[in-house]
Structure 1
Amino acid sequence: MVLITEDLVRRRSEHNNCEIFSLEEVSLHQQDVEKIEHIDRWCKDLKILYLQNNLIPRIENVHRLKKLEYLNLALNNIELIENLEGCESLQKLDLTVNFIGCLSSVESLKHNLHLQELFLVGNPCTEFEGYRQYVVATLPQLKYLDGKEIGRSERIRSGQGLKEVRRLIHQQEQEYLRKRASERQKSQEEGVEEVQQEPKKPGFDGRWYTDINKTMPVPEDNTENQVREEKERKSCPTSDHQEREFWEKLCAFTPESRLETHRHLERSKKAERRETEKMPKAQRTLITPQGRVMNVNEPKLDFRLTEDENNNAIVLDLEVYRHMDTSLMDVDVQPTYARVTVKGKIFQVVLPAEVRPDSSTAKRSQITGHLVLTMPKALCEIKAKKTTPTAKSSECSNRPEEKTRKGNREERLEVDPREHSMVDFCNIVPREISSGEGSLETSGKRLTTTTEQTNFSDNFVDDPDVPPLI
């Protein structure tokens, strides 16, 4: 039996910072809840309450919810509409697919003056003759019934012959109540038969012996018992046969059958859970027999593996839980891989280069709580350092002429010093071999020059002390 606890309500109120006293909307659907309780005392400001697809048999403990506007109780085991008079602000009530057979219980909704929408689809009362006419005439404040708008003409017609319709509804209710009584009695008898046919535990005959001198059988070894039980379970598929027989059995759709189905599913889940707990878990392969290290992420944590070029190291940023205690983590750094154990779950990653475990460090980030592993590389690589320009050079580089000169300058490759170890002074000044018009001959070379005709004035005097203008 699942109860509505404070922890359950807080987990369902994450949108309100887990504060339940000021909660206006809460969803408790599909929780197998069997009783409405505590909600009207913890969440008095509640406006929307979702309780669909549970096992609730009765509407109760909601009369303090004065601000409640929408109540969803679809797919439950409710048989009577009651205890909603205190919900003064109720505007929408959903009772789809329940077991409401007493249609006259809708008269309790007369006090809900703001009620505009009512859903009763899937209930036995909807099959009664005159169902819609009776509900429309009984609740004049309604605007929609089962999703269909109530027009003015329909409201006028529903008031005609209401006395006869009420008599007809009362007769159908009595027939349904007799049918329900027989179904309830039949389910109780079947429950008693199942209890009587329940097999007794082996080794116990229903009597308690107090004679200490009576010889008792010596218990066998537990290991041998487990092996024998496993063989019997495999050879005799009794459980599978009972499971198939349960689901193939024909039964009426009643609150008891729905509750029994839920109980059966719970028993099946518990049995499966016990079997899985008995089965030994397969061990995770961290390193293969061939020596290959595997990548493993059992805690399913996000991570980032980067290289720090300035410090020549590999950095692993593992996004562990922020509020987790550091004592729950264990770090193991090897030359080719790093392994972190988080609450018994292993995270292992292969490193792109060999590192030095003795120089590695592990720290927790004070902001994010992440685990940061800094692992220096074992084989250091020589990398060029970036030179920072001085103030004077930076001023010169800011000049437009300097920028243009640097931009137009061509980068040249280095010359092999083995081929040109000395400067050739022989070819610095060309040696004249023969004179010609505008030509100079050197040993093995001929250099052609262009002569320019210069026009001097008549008063020009060549002073040897004045250097030439070049």
Structure 2
Amino acid sequence: MVRSKYTITEKLIRKRSEHNELVIGTLEELSLHQEDIEQIEHIDRWCRDLKILLLQSNLIAKIENLHMLKKLEYLNLAVNNIERIENLAGLESLQKLDLTLNFIGELTTVESLKGNYNLRELYLTGNPCTDFPGYRDYVICALPQIDTLDGQEISRTDRLNAYKHFQENHSRIIQLEIKYKIERDEQKVRVNQLIHEQENSMKEMDEEERTARFWQQKSEHCPETRILMAKYSKRSNEKCGLDLVDPVRVKKRTLFAECGRPYSLNEPKIKFDFRDEDDRYEVNMHIYRYLDSSCIQVDVQPNYVRATIKGKVFQLALKDEVKTDSSSCQRSSITGHLLVIMPKLNQHDMTFKPSKHEGTPCQLDTSEKVNDLKGSVNYKNIIQKNLKASKNHVDENEIPPLI
């Protein structure tokens, strides 16, 4: 089922803020491109420290709900459905604005950017208004603060020539705007009627036939068509399961070699510190501070340690075996880091008890711990056969002769 409207959610923003440890309140850069977003919302309340906001390749029809982003320096709204430049006066730090490949036909709305004193770069390439005669000269006069228009620097000569013909260009552009508005209104009626007829003619078809028919039909280049194309693309992707399956899970995960040796891998791509001491191993994983501990699972085995973080595996192979029952795991409430301490298992850790009867060999005392060593070697039946039968027994051949 395709959503009727694509919105900005907290989950989506956190997903795109992994570089900031999933903290959205202090984000300075946010990229929400290619998410089929139709409306700008919540960003100015949740991410007020933003300096860079990338919203290109979506379905946004109106510029809105950005006035509280006082620190924003770069706004990218390229390849959307925007028809007017508006609601950007509050962005007092804005230096670069990209509106490439939208549907802006009301060129006079560019004057709404006069209050953006720090604006230096403006991109309007691919909009209907760029086809108006005198377009560039008009924008240069309307926005004296900009240095670059559509990637081309504005020289002093360009400004002087633009001011000479400003009144003439202004009158002509207003007339062209009126003509464009009439054509656009006619286009809306025509396209909506065509879409309605197409939907009715395809009612009896199954999903596959309907999709094939849609892509074969001719259509006009307009916001309505772009929205419809996005929805049919979404349906095709969902049918193929391209957006329902986690790409990490699609890839076959290999944790062990054929011989049983564990591999070392870092799917969540977290930073970590590893210390190899004489008596223990220490692994300090730099996990995101605000990630809930319920999303983390830790498993210590004799020859490897594994942490599963939101379904992604961090595994580290160990050279020496460790004591699983004595290993500990702690997480810092301040940094969120996860520390795993694993004591090494060696012969010096094993103690002996004298046997109850003289003349019989001693046996390792591991009865209290063997059940806790899951996956490790069972030492219960290992016998030290080379010990003397009694500690009081003395070999007469070793006694030196009396003097």
How would you bin the TM-score normalised by the shorter chain?
0.5 to 0.7
Determine helix, strand or coil for the equivalent of 2:111: helix
| 1:188-227 superposed matches below 5 A | 188-197=192-201, 199=203
Q: 2:83 aligns with which of 79, 84, 89?
A: 79
Distance 2:7 2:87 in 1: 20
Distance 2:141 2:295 in 1: 68
Residue 24 (str. 1) matches residue 28 (str. 2) = yes
RCO higher in 1 or 2 (8 Å CA, sep ≥ 6)?
Answer: 2
Distance 2:218 2:59 in 1: 21
TM-fit CA distance, 1:143: 1.0
| 1:304-343 superposed matches below 5 A | none
- Is the contact between residue 60 and residue 81 of structure 2 (CA under 8 Å) also seen in structure 1? yes
Distance 2:19 2:296 in 1: 32
- Is the contact between residue 2 and residue 32 of structure 1 (CA under 8 Å) also seen in structure 2? yes
Q: 2:8 aligns with which of 4, 10, 14?
A: 4
- Is the contact between residue 70 and residue 91 of structure 1 (CA under 8 Å) also seen in structure 2? yes
Q: 1:243 aligns with which of 208, 211, 225?
A: 211
Matched with 1:264 is 232
Residue identity (%): 42
1:327 to 1:185, Cα distance in 2 relative to 1, 3 A: closer
1:198 to 1:250, Cα distance in 2 relative to 1, 3 A: closer
TM-fit CA distance, 1:23: 2.9
Distance 2:231 2:295 in 1: 42
1:196 to 1:63, Cα distance in 2 relative to 1, 3 A: same
1:328 to 1:25, Cα distance in 2 relative to 1, 3 A: closer
TM-fit CA distance, 1:14: 3.4
Determine helix, strand or coil for the equivalent of 1:114: coil
Distance 1:326 1:190 in 2: 49
| 1:7-86 superposed matches below 5 A | 7-86=11-90
Give the residue type in structure 1 aligned to 2:234: E
Matched with 2:119 is 115
Q: 2:189 aligns with which of 176, 185, 190?
A: 185
TM-fit CA distance, 1:60: 0.5
Matched with 2:158 is 154
Q: Quick check: 85-94 or 96-105, which moved more? A: 85-94
TM norm structure 2: 0.62
Determine helix, strand or coil for the equivalent of 2:97: strand
Q: Which runs of 5+ in 1 are unaligned?
A: 202-237, 285-291, 303-316, 347-358, 384-470
Q: Quick check: 361-370 or 36-45, which moved more? A: 361-370
Determine helix, strand or coil for the equivalent of 2:122: strand
- Is the contact between residue 361 and residue 373 of structure 1 (CA under 8 Å) also seen in structure 2? no
Determine helix, strand or coil for the equivalent of 1:159: helix
- Is the contact between residue 361 and residue 375 of structure 1 (CA under 8 Å) also seen in structure 2? no
TM-fit CA distance, 1:197: 3.8
Q: 1:138 aligns with which of 142, 145, 165?
A: 142
Distance 2:68 2:301 in 1: 58
Deviations 1:237-284 (A, max 9, x none): x6555433322322222111111110001112222339x99xxx9xx9
Determine helix, strand or coil for the equivalent of 1:100: coil
- Is the contact between residue 300 and residue 324 of structure 2 (CA under 8 Å) also seen in structure 1? no
Distance 2:222 2:344 in 1: 65
Deviations 1:434-466 (A, max 9, x none): xxxxxxxxxxxxxxxxxxxxxxxxxxxxxxxxx
Instruction: Report the structure number with the largest CA radius of gyration.
Output: 1
Matched with 1:230 is none
Distance 2:32 2:92 in 1: 22
| 1:281-296 superposed matches below 5 A | none
- Is the contact between residue 79 and residue 99 of structure 2 (CA under 8 Å) also seen in structure 1? yes
Distance 1:326 1:124 in 2: 49
Deviations 1:110-143 (A, max 9, x none): 1212211110011111111111111111111121
Distance 2:30 2:266 in 1: 30
Distance 2:124 2:73 in 1: 17
TM-fit CA distance, 1:92: 1.3
- Is the contact between residue 360 and residue 375 of structure 1 (CA under 8 Å) also seen in structure 2? no
Give the residue type in structure 2 aligned to 1:177: K
Determine helix, strand or coil for the equivalent of 2:50: coil
Q: Which runs of 5+ in 2 are unaligned?
A: 270-281, 314-322, 332-337, 347-376, 387-403
1:362 to 1:31, Cα distance in 2 relative to 1, 3 A: farther
1:243 to 1:140, Cα distance in 2 relative to 1, 3 A: same
TM-fit CA distance, 1:171: 2.2
TM-fit CA distance, 1:155: 0.5
- Is the contact between residue 95 and residue 120 of structure 1 (CA under 8 Å) also seen in structure 2? yes
Give the residue type in structure 1 aligned to 2:125: V
